[in-house]
Amino acid sequence: MNDACEGRSPWAMMWRRLRRNRVALAGAAILGVLYALAFFAGFFAPYHYDHQFRDTPLAPPHLLGGVHFRDAEGVFHWRPFVYGRSLIRTHDEHGEVILRRVEDPHRRHPIRLFVRGDEWRLLGLIRTRVHLFGVDPTPNGAAPTGPEGSPDPPGVIYLLGSDLYGRDIFSRLCYGGLVSLTVGLVGIAISMSLGLLLGGIAGYFGGRVDFALMRIIEVIMAVPGIYLILTLRAAFPRSLSSIATYFLVVIILAFIAWASNARVIRGMVLSLREQDYVAAARALGISHLGIIVRHILPNTLSYVIVTATLYVPYYILGEVALSFLGVGIQEPEASWGLMLRDAQHATRLVDNPHLVMPGLLVFVAVLAFNFLGDGLRDAADPRSVLKAKTTE
Amino acid sequence: MLAYALRRCLLAVGTLLGITIVTFLIISVAPGDPAAIHSEDPKLSARVYEQLRKHFELDRPLPERYARWLSRGVRGDFGVSFADGRPVMGKIAERIPATATLAILSILLGLTCAIPIGIGSAANRNGWFDTTSGVSLYLLYSVPSYVAGMVLIHLVGVKLDLLPFRGMTSDGFDSLSLIGKAFDIAKHLALILFCYTFHSVAYDSRFIRQNLLEVLRQDFVRTARAKGVREARVVWRHAFPNTMIPVLTRLGLLVPAILSGSVILEVMFSWPGIGRLYFDAVLMRDYPLVMAETVLTAALVLLGTLLADLAYAWADPRIAYA
């Protein structure tokens, strides 16, 4: 036997196949960025998610032409800056007086890295005030004055614009990602554990246990998902603490999703339990639960990983839908669905297209999960190499 | 076959009974009973509140309420709505046309798009059509329908002012001629129909493509080609009928879709359909309406899957139900 024939574990082969799939890797990279933004939201976001700047509601994004290097006099600055915005009175096309916000060339707020701002907690533990970026609150590098010292509103950087209350949308997207993106991970963990355990039990024992569990699953699957979600949501008080709402949303979504997982796992276990090694384990006197958990379920792992990845979007979309309908995450917390509610008013959206940003992020996250999930599925399929050879 | 269908029906009745019990339990433990919502006015005395509870039969024990509901329900009487005292069935019936129109058109439109796309891309695998349609449909599949709805309302509805996006008919609908009426509804349908359909087009066409690729690899297809059958005929006549299963599954879902609709899209487009009725009923704790809608839709889901399963056996003689 020579070196070339050295055995590779199925996991190593799966990893090798996945590494060659550039689309799947791109999906993984996008998800890495999104989750990093969410987990370290306090650092990447220049402001706290509920920091309101009442003077500048619905401000357009600075990223679209709001970040300057050259000031009004034509002087070039190495450090990019944004202008403060002032209210002016003008007339619209019908001659009516309207108030408009324009950039004030006299108030220059330089952008700095690692600035001190709103307090946040690193991983929920360590208090800090350092943010990746921000702008000087006072214009033109003037020394900070007291709260009543300056007549102008403080300088604010709105990378992606601001919402109705003048809150920074980029900051809220980071914090909202923490809610919307982790809903998927926590939900998958719950529904997959339930699906594995109950599907494993149903498939392994068969008979009456199987029949009873299958009927329960049928009951859950026969009611259209959104109906069941709304009904379950109605069973709890409308206003809950933010953390309670979060877990309620996760648990409701997981309660519905475990059924289909359990059904597939059961089907796999039905054939796995006939394998010789299961008979061997039984002969060795291992308990039923031990056989299910240690010997049978690990064989469904590749299905579990692939399905889990492809199922995360269900949770993200579920949270977004619930919050969008007003029965999920509540103000002032941030979540992508809740933020999307602001864009619901068609006429408001016309003047402020940046309000649709959370929808774009939902799309990107779902797409990335689909990329990665499909890549994992191809990589987990032992026939995929063979298939590629026979068809190409 | 008949025995199988009967057995399935029997199981379905059991499942349905389970659904009624579960739903009844869930909405009964919900806080804030409808009497409280209706007597939110603080000036309303406790006596009125008690009267309302009596009126809604909320003062009786849970099992008794369920038994009463069930005995009336099996006779087709789902009670009256808590909100306005009208019979629940009537309220649902008047919402069916809006949702059913949407569902039926969506599935027809979805399949007429998905089948040619799926076949076209499978017949010329990795060709330009397969690549472009594959990439664009993959992207489309990841767009949440409500985000698409929002963007379309913004662009087509408001900015370009091309299509209406609120409700099903314009003001002054009744004064229009028959053709005018049809045209008016069609205009209102366009945007919501697109949002309702594009997911299934994206999914079904890839699914049909995948299945067709499997079939095209089979021996009988090679035989047909060897006989000198034209390629178009090989694909459409020999291979495609063997991919009917997903189409049938989709048609099986049509049955419940007629009665369930999409809550979020109906809310977004102010569509006078059943999804919105349900959403409002849940918020208002209108139990009779919630119960009736859940049971009816679940019954149709079960019926739809049964019909689809029976149709599999018709489409594929190798499937036999013992």
Show residues of chain B in contact with A238, CB under 8 Å.
Answer: 32
Contact assignment for A230 to B159 by CB distance below 8 Å: no
Portion 36-95 of B in contact with A at CB < 8 A:
none
Do residue A262 and residue A330 come from a single domain?
yes
Residue A101: in which H helix or E strand, if any?
strand A97-122
Q: Which structural domain, as residue segments, surrounds residue A223?
A: 10-39+174-385
- Determine contact: B298 vs chain A, CB below 8 A: yes
Show residues of chain B in contact with A392, CB under 8 Å.
Answer: none
pLDDT in the model for residue A28? 92
Contact assignment for A234 to B285 by CB distance below 8 Å: yes
Dump the DSSP string for B301-312: HHHHHHHHHHHH
Does residue A50 sit within a domain?
Answer: no
Return the percentage of chain A with pLDDT > 90, whole number: 12
Distance between CA atoms of B309 and B166, rounded to whole angstroms? Answer: 38
Confidence class of residue A1 from pLDDT cuts 50, 70 and 90?
very low
Q: Are A327 and A233 in contact (CB under 8 A)?
A: yes
What pTM did the predictor assign? Answer: 0.84
Does residue A392 sit within a domain?
Answer: no
**A164, A189, A213 - which closes a domain:** A164
Q: What residue spans of chain B are helical by DSSP H?
A: 2-29, 34-38, 46-55, 62-73, 88-123, 128-141, 145-152, 178-216, 219-226, 231-233, 244-260, 263-268, 274-283, 287-315
In this predicted model, what pLDDT tens digit does every residue of A290-347 receive, in sequence order?
Answer: 888 888 888 888 888 888 888 888 889 888 888 888 888 888 888 898 888 888 776 6
Distance between CA atoms of B270 and A202, rounded to whole angstroms? Answer: 44
Does residue A253 sit within a domain?
Answer: yes
Q: How many residues does chain A have?
A: 392
Does residue A229 sit within a domain?
Answer: yes
Q: Are B303 and B259 in contact (CB under 8 A)?
A: no
A332: preceding bond cis by omega (within 30 degrees): yes
Portion 217-256 of B in contact with A at CB < 8 A:
256
Mean pLDDT of A354-358: 86
Do residue A155 and residue A185 come from a single domain?
no
Do residue A137 and residue A211 come from a single domain?
no
CATH number at residue A336: 1.10.3720.10
**A119, A143, A164 - which closes a domain:** A164
- Determine contact: B14 vs chain A, CB below 8 A: yes
Residue A392 pLDDT exceeds 80: no
Cα A127 to the chain's mean position, in Å?
24
Segments in chain B below pLDDT 50: none
Distance between CA atoms of A56 and A167, rounded to whole angstroms? Answer: 8
pLDDT in the model for residue A388? 39
Do residue A126 and residue A26 come from a single domain?
no
**A123, A143, A164 - which closes a domain:** A164
Question: Which is nearest to A200 in space by CA: A308, A276, A311, A278?
Answer: A278
pLDDT in the model for residue B311? 81
Does residue A391 sit within a domain?
Answer: no
Do residue A268 and residue A158 come from a single domain?
no
Q: Are A282 and A291 in contact (CB under 8 A)?
A: yes
Do residue A79 and residue A207 come from a single domain?
no
Do residue A201 and residue A140 come from a single domain?
no
Mean pLDDT of A40-54: 83
pLDDT in the model for residue B211? 85
Do residue A153 and residue A274 come from a single domain?
no
pLDDT in the model for residue A187? 92
Number of Cβ within 10 Å of residue A321's Cβ equals 24
Return the percentage of chain A with pLDDT > 70, whole number: 89
Contact assignment for B275 to A226 by CB distance below 8 Å: yes
User: From the candidates A227, A312, A350, which should be mutated to test the interface with B, based on the most B CB atoms within 10 A?
Assistant: A227
**Beta-carbon pairs below 8 A across chains A and B:** 123
How many domains does the structure of chain A reveal? 2
Q: Are A332 and A173 in contact (CB under 8 A)?
A: no
Distance between CA atoms of B263 and B58, rounded to whole angstroms? Answer: 28
- Determine contact: B34 vs chain A, CB below 8 A: no
Does residue A1 sit within a domain?
Answer: no
- Helix, strand counts (H, E) of chain A: 14, 4
Mean pLDDT of A166-192: 90
pLDDT in the model for residue A389? 37
* R_g of chain A, CA atoms, integer Å: 27
Show residues of chain B in contact with A370, CB under 8 Å.
Answer: 138, 141-142
Does residue A186 sit within a domain?
Answer: yes
β-strand pairing of A76-91 with A68-70 = antiparallel
CB-nearest to B158 from A320, A321, A347 is: A347
Does residue A390 sit within a domain?
Answer: no
Q: Which residues on neighbouring strands pair with residue A68, listed in sequence order?
A: A81
Residue A368 pLDDT exceeds 60: yes
Question: Which is nearest to B96 in space by CA: B297, B309, B315, B299?
Answer: B297
Distance between CA atoms of B314 and B312, rounded to whole angstroms? Answer: 5
Distance between CA atoms of B276 and B286, rounded to whole angstroms? Answer: 13
pLDDT in the model for residue B82? 79
Do residue A208 and residue A282 come from a single domain?
yes
Do residue A220 and residue A349 come from a single domain?
yes
In this predicted model, what pLDDT tens digit does every residue of A18-43 receive, in sequence order?
Answer: 888 888 899 999 999 999 999 888 88
pLDDT in the model for residue A386? 41
Q: In one letter, which amino acid is B269?
A: F
Confidence class of residue A391 from pLDDT cuts 50, 70 and 90?
very low
- Determine contact: B143 vs chain A, CB below 8 A: yes
Structure token digits, residue B36: 């409280």
Do residue A132 and residue A178 come from a single domain?
no
Residue of B nearest to A369 (CA): B142
Question: Which is nearest to A34 in space by CA: A251, A181, A243, A225?
Answer: A181
CB-nearest to B294 from A231, A236, A320 is: A231
Do residue A126 and residue A209 come from a single domain?
no
- Determine contact: B26 vs chain A, CB below 8 A: yes
Residue A45 pLDDT exceeds 70: yes
Confidence class of residue A387 from pLDDT cuts 50, 70 and 90?
very low
CB-nearest to A366 from B142, B264, B283 is: B142
Distance from CA of A368 to the nearest CA of B (A): 9
Confidence class of residue A383 from pLDDT cuts 50, 70 and 90?
low
Show residues of chain B in contact with A343, CB under 8 Å.
Answer: 150
